[in-house]
Amino acid sequence: MSLRPRSLRPARPAPEVPADTPIPEQAWQRVPADELVTLVSVVLMAHGFPEDRAPMAAEALCHGDLTGAPDTGVAELTRVHLPAVEGGFVSPGAQPLLIADRGAAALIDYRRASGLWAVGDAMDRAVQRAGRFGVGLVSLRGVGPFGRVGHHAARALPHGMIGIVMAAGGFGDQPVHPLGMAAPAGAYPEFVLDVDLADTARDPQFAGFALMVDVLAGVLSGVADHEHDTGLLVLAIAPTTLRSADGFYRAASAVFGSMLGWEGGSPVRYPGWREAQYLEQCRALGVPLSASVRRGLDLLAASVGRPPLTTVG
C-alpha cells in the first residue's frame, strides 16, 4: 500500500455512520503458501482428481497467487475448474491416449483431463525425451482449462532446460493464444514469459504470431477437427546437448545481466524477475488473498473436513 502525504487543510468532522452499516473487511489477508497448495490439492481430490495428479494441479492453480497474478489463481477454482468437473467438461481421472510416438516427438490425446495436470504432465514427458534426444516435443489435445502456460513451461527449469508452451483453441467466440517460455538465466532469476497473443491479434505486427500459434498448437495437434477443444505444443530443449553447461551458464548470465538497469528512475527488469521476487515474499510472509477468495476457501475447507487456512501476521 503506498503512503500519501497528509493534507494541510483542517480535517472535516467525520460523518455519522448508521448503526447498521457493516464495518469494511480487510481487503487482503496472508496465508501460508504450503497450506494453500495443500488445501487446493485436497479439494481437487474430493472432486475426483487422483492422488498423484492433485498436487501438480494445485501448484498450477496457485501459481497466479504466488507470482502476483491473483486473477488467474485460486479465484478460478470455484469459478472455472470445479464447475468444469461438475458439468462433465473435464474428467479428472481420464487416461491419456498416445496417438503417435516418434522418439523425440509425440502426439497425445488427454481425453478431457484437467489441463492443470495434463499440460504439466506433457512438459514432464517432453523433458524426458529431451534428456535422450536433446529436444522433446509433445503435441496434445483434449485438455480442460490449464491456468498459466508460463508455469507449465517453467517445469523444464529444474532440469536446466528451456521450456516452451503454446495453446490454440478455446470456446465459442473466446479464442486463446497463450505463449509461454522459460529459460535458465545463469546467475540471475530465471526468465519466464507468459503472454496471450489473442490480446494483440488485432495489431498487424502481432497477428502473425497468433497465426503461428494456431499452426503449431492447433493444426499440428488436430484440434481444428474438434469443437470446444484446445490444442497445445509443449517443447523442452536441453542446451547442454549442443554446448557445455559452463558455456551456456556464462552466456545466459551475460544476456540477462545486460538487460538490467534503470530508465527514467524506474528499474528495468525482464519477465520472471519480479515474479521470482514476489514468490520469495509469499514463501516468507504468506500469500495475500482477497476477503472473498479467503471466505470461499474456508467454506471449501469445511466441506472437506479441514480447518480454515491460517492467517499469517
For 93-137, write each residue's pLDDT tens digit.
999 999 999 999 999 999 999 999 999 999 999 999 999 999 999
Q: How many helices (H) and strands (E) does the chain have?
A: 10, 12
How would residue 18 be classed by pLDDT, with cut points 50, 70 and 90? very low
% of residues, the chain, pLDDT over 90: 76
Distance, in Å, from the CA atom of 289 to the CA atom of 39, rounded to the nearest integer, reads 14
Helix (H) or strand (E) holding 147: none
Question: What's 229-279 look like in SS3?
Answer: CEEEEEEEECHHHCCCHHHHHHHHHHHHHCCCEEECCEEECCCCHHHHHHH
Q: What are phi and psi of 177, to 5 degrees?
A: -140, 55
CA angle in degrees (0–180, nearest 5) for 34-185-284: 25
24 φ, ψ to 5°?
A: -60, 140
Summarised one tens digit per residue, pLDDT across range 212-246 is 888 999 999 988 666 668 899 999 999 999 999 99
Q: What is the pLDDT of residue 28?
A: 81
CA nearest to 126, candidates 95, 152, 147: 152
- Give residue-wise pLDDT tens across range 150-187: 999 999 999 999 999 999 976 545 567 799 999 999 99
Rounded CA-CA distance 125/173 in Å is 32
Which one, of 236, 60, 47, 226, lies nearest residue 134 by Cα? 236
| Average pLDDT, rounded, for the chain | 88
C-alpha span between 309 and 57 (Å, rounded): 19
> Is residue 177 packed enough to be buried (19+ CB in 10 Å), middle (13-18) or exposed (0-12)?
buried
Domains along the chain with CATH numbers: 28-88+286-303 (1.10.1530.10), 97-245 (3.30.1370.60)
Say what the pLDDT of residue 4 is: 32
Give pLDDT, residue 27: 63
Contact indicator for 188, 203 with CB cutoff of 8 Å: no
CA 159, CA 76: separation in Å to the nearest integer? 29
Please determine, for residue 306, whether its predicted confidence score (pLDDT) is greater than 80: yes
